[in-house]
Structure 1
Amino acid sequence: MSIFDFFKSQLIEVIEWTDQSTNKMVYRFPVQGNEIKMGASLIVRESQAAVFVNEGEIADVFGPGHHVLYTQNMPVLTKLKSWKTGFNSPFKAEVYFVNTKQFIDQKWGTSNPIMMRDPDFGMIRLRGYGVYSYRVADPAVFMKELFGTNSSFDTSNIDSHLKKMIMSGLTDLFAESQVAALDLAMFYDELSSQGLEKMRDRFAQFGFEITSLYIENLSLPKEVEQAMDKRTTMGVLGDMNQYTQWQAAEALRDAAKNEGGGMAGAGVGLGAGAAIGNAMANAFTTSQQTTASQAEEKMACPHCQANIRTSAKFCPECGQSVQQKKVPCIHCKAEITEGSKFCGECGTKQITEKKCTACSAVNNPTAKFCGECGAGLDV
């Protein structure tokens, strides 16, 4: 190689970066010691930004497009180098390509349970996980705050810190929401949106923009979930007496299918049969007692004949009072039901009113003289 070819190889004429990875955020170009030729082409693709750094100071930032490097379109770097217009010698500067695309499907999750106060279960421990996405919105801030002097930078370098920021914000959000644990599934979208807004300022400190945040799952401890499953099962089963009868019948069927031989097997079978029989007898007895008890607690409404509880004060069908009023007998003063025609104790006919034969005035059934004319009243 001639001296001319050597110097020519040190002059970079095309500056570009084609990224083959999915998580690289920054790439430094060119190799240290090379010089950029004045008039070189800078190709910045969509979702990229080119940052020129001179002696540790950010000089220029170029967006997507084709740029020809002259002093006219590099005013900051030209001022730093003290170049004059038309100076065509090569110059040295570090060029960093910053990937501004969205980095999606970034995972977040609780490393330790979140302690919460729940109205149904009291103190609970909540776990959760989900995904988020972000991108570099301000390359200059990102270079100053995070990148430093590295030759490259990818999402793994900042992933742990971003997860901790998200969990800190979401923990505070969940506690402030005061949503019951059983209702959390209804508020995944709302909590995700609130968490996204809560994270914007925190990500902006590093030149990032968080573009999405989703809650995939919020779960309770295993012990609480098992207790909830048992409670749900009891609600599905309904009448426990009927369930006991069904279990006894199933056990009897399984025992009948057992073909175990020998006297020991027969003894076990007899014992199991006796136990099952007792269980079934108890279940049927309990069911009959319950049915009889329920039947005794019912009565017919005296107005519409609807089947109602004996303790009811009003009929749920017709709405009238079912508590019969007691009144004294007009002769022996024994308590009888209001409206009765005869006394159950002395047999006296219960007259509801007395009509005066002289003036036709209506009097109380116990009156002996007419209140209008004073004539005597016959029973």
Structure 2
Amino acid sequence: MGLFGFFKSQFIEVIEWTDSSTNTLVYRFPVQGNEIKMGAELTVRESQVAIFVNEGEIADVFGPGRHLLWTQNMPILTKLKSWKHGFNSPFKAEVYFVNTKQFINQKWGTSNPIMMRDSDFGIIRLRGYGIYSYRVSEPTVFLRELFGTNASYDTSNIEEQLKKMILSGLTDLFAESKIPALDLAMHYDELSTLGKEKMEERFSKFGFAITSLYIENLSLPAEVEQAMDKRTSMGVIGDLGQYQQFQAAEALREAARNEGGGLAGAGAGLGAGAALGGMMTNAFTGNNQQANTPNPTNAQSDKINCPHCNELILADAKFCKECGKSVQTKKVPCINCQAEINKDAKFCGECGTKQETEKTCGKCGHKNALHAKFCGDCGESL
């Protein structure tokens, strides 16, 4: 080898990686065109793993610590290169440092709303966002499945893939949970834990371990939230008649403050006074009128649909006026909690107990009445 060739191919005596970034997953040590000196010093810091690759094949893996490179601590590379014992010449190999620390504060969110069926609002569109963290748990699996031959690899290269995996799993989890939208906030912790467990197997296929997953917020569309705000406002107002009286009193006070000038002002004041007087009369007598006027809503609620022809009939009617069939459903007590249920019900709507109509003898298989204590065929105790 000439002098020029010697300087072109220097021997590497120290191999290490000082990570100055916050999101690098893999770093390839620059050994291209150079050879590693046998007996070179390899320094692997905490939360790092060094992997030697020979001609595209993963060889020896080194954990944290200071290592002197000899054939004794590179058994796989020694075998792949067919080195004899005591080999002391420089060699060529690729060295990759894999970062095994936790990558925290990785964000996920719904780019499109999740369609769900809710018990209170029917079909709704749900949006959500949160954070998760992960680390490389199997460096060789990660190197084989994702990294390839790049010079470096950071979290942005895998971010979209992981985010879509999380959204797919959480969408399935939210739908299966059947938790009403109004109660989702009180189950964030439980859903986060279940979501993390659901993701573990998916992450492990890439050599990752998901260390945490948190749901920060789940929200409904703006129009649904506005409807909820209106319903809340009506609950705060309470009695509508009293609220009308309060509004009328406020209007009178504002009219008294607004003093008009001249004859036109006096006429306007008289007109306003007459109008406000009518408002006050209606407001203060509204309760009596409401009490004397039949409420169409209540009258409507006193009616039910015939189970046979769907005709609207009175709730206490015994027969349908349209088809003439009986509409009274016979009630019987539940065999477990004694709650009243329909005679032909198979399960109790209160405690969920299956309603058995007969007992089977365990000895002879004879069918007996539900409340029988002994078998009518063989006399065996039931």
Give the TM-score normalised by the residue count of structure 1: 0.72
Q: Could you list the per-position Cα deviations for residues 115-134 of structure 1 after superposition, in whole angstroms to 9, with x for gaps in the alignment?
A: 11111111111111111100
Structure 1 residue 7 displacement after superposition: 3.8
Structure 1 residue 4 displacement after superposition: 8.9
Structure 1 residue 30 displacement after superposition: 1.9
Task: Give distance in 1, aligned partners of 2:59 and 2:270.
Answer: 95
Secondary structure in structure 1 of the residue aligned to 2:250 = helix
Question: Are the structure 2 counterparts of residues 268 and 147 from structure 1 closer, same or farther at C-alpha, using a change threshold of 3 Å?
Answer: farther
Task: Give distance in 1, aligned partners of 2:44 and 2:262.
Answer: 88
Which residue does the alignment assign to 1:40?
40
Q: Could you list the per-position Cα deviations for residues 175-224 of structure 1 after superposition, in whole angstroms to 9, with x for gaps in the alignment?
A: 11111111111111111111111100000000000010111111111111
Task: Give distance in 1, aligned partners of 2:33 and 2:70.
Answer: 20
Question: Are the structure 2 counterparts of residues 4 and 73 from structure 1 closer, same or farther at C-alpha, using a change threshold of 3 Å?
Answer: farther
Structure 1 residue 253 displacement after superposition: 3.1
Write the letter of the residue equivalent to 2:208.
F
Please report the RMSD computed on the Cα atoms of aligned residues, expressed in angstroms. Answer: 2.5
Question: Are the structure 2 counterparts of residues 117 and 10 from structure 1 closer, same or farther at C-alpha, using a change threshold of 3 Å?
Answer: same
Write the letter of the residue equivalent to 1:124.
I
Aligned runs of 1:1-379 on 2, under 5 Å? 3=3, 7=7, 10-258=10-258, 272-287=272-287
Task: Give distance in 1, aligned partners of 2:255 and 2:92.
Answer: 91
Higher Cα radius of gyration = 1
Question: Are the structure 2 counterparts of residues 244 and 205 from structure 1 closer, same or farther at C-alpha, using a change threshold of 3 Å?
Answer: same
Q: Is the 8 A contact 2:8 2:33 kept in 1?
A: no
Q: Could you list the per-position Cα deviations for residues 112-162 of structure 1 after superposition, in whole angstroms to 9, with x for gaps in the alignment?
A: 111111111111111111111000000000001000111000000000010
Q: Could you list the per-position Cα deviations for residues 62-117 of structure 1 after superposition, in whole angstroms to 9, with x for gaps in the alignment?
A: 11111110010000001111112222211111111111000011111111111111
Task: Give distance in 2, aligned partners of 1:196 and 1:86.
Answer: 50
Task: Give distance in 1, aligned partners of 2:59 and 2:39.
Answer: 17
Task: Give distance in 1, aligned partners of 2:195 and 2:48.
Answer: 28
Task: Give distance in 2, aligned partners of 1:113 and 1:155.
Answer: 25
Structure 1 residue 248 displacement after superposition: 2.2
167-176 vs 269-278, greater mean Cα deviation: 269-278
Write the letter of the residue equivalent to 2:165.
M
Which residue does the alignment assign to 2:353?
none
Task: Give distance in 1, aligned partners of 2:72 and 2:26.
Answer: 27
Question: Are the structure 2 counterparts of residues 87 and 287 from structure 1 closer, same or farther at C-alpha, using a change threshold of 3 Å?
Answer: same
Task: Give distance in 1, aligned partners of 2:98 and 2:262.
Answer: 82
Mind listing any 5+ residue stretches in structure 1 that lack a counterpart? Answer: 294-379
Secondary structure in structure 2 of the residue aligned to 1:72 = helix
Structure 1 residue 3 displacement after superposition: 3.6
Secondary structure in structure 1 of the residue aligned to 2:285 = helix
Structure 1 residue 61 displacement after superposition: 1.0
Secondary structure in structure 2 of the residue aligned to 1:250 = helix
Which residue does the alignment assign to 1:370?
none
Structure 1 residue 228 displacement after superposition: 0.8
Task: Give distance in 2, aligned partners of 1:22 and 1:259.
Answer: 70
198-207 vs 79-88, greater mean Cα deviation: 79-88
Q: Is the 8 A contact 2:9 2:35 kept in 1?
A: no
Task: Give distance in 2, aligned partners of 1:263 and 1:52.
Answer: 102
Question: Are the structure 2 counterparts of residues 206 and 262 from structure 1 closer, same or farther at C-alpha, using a change threshold of 3 Å?
Answer: farther
Which residue does the alignment assign to 1:326?
none
Mind listing any 5+ residue stretches in structure 2 that lack a counterpart? Answer: 294-382
Structure 1 residue 163 displacement after superposition: 0.5
Task: Give distance in 2, aligned partners of 1:163 and 1:260.
Answer: 67
Give the number of aligned pairs. 292
Task: Give distance in 2, aligned partners of 1:265 and 1:86.
Answer: 115
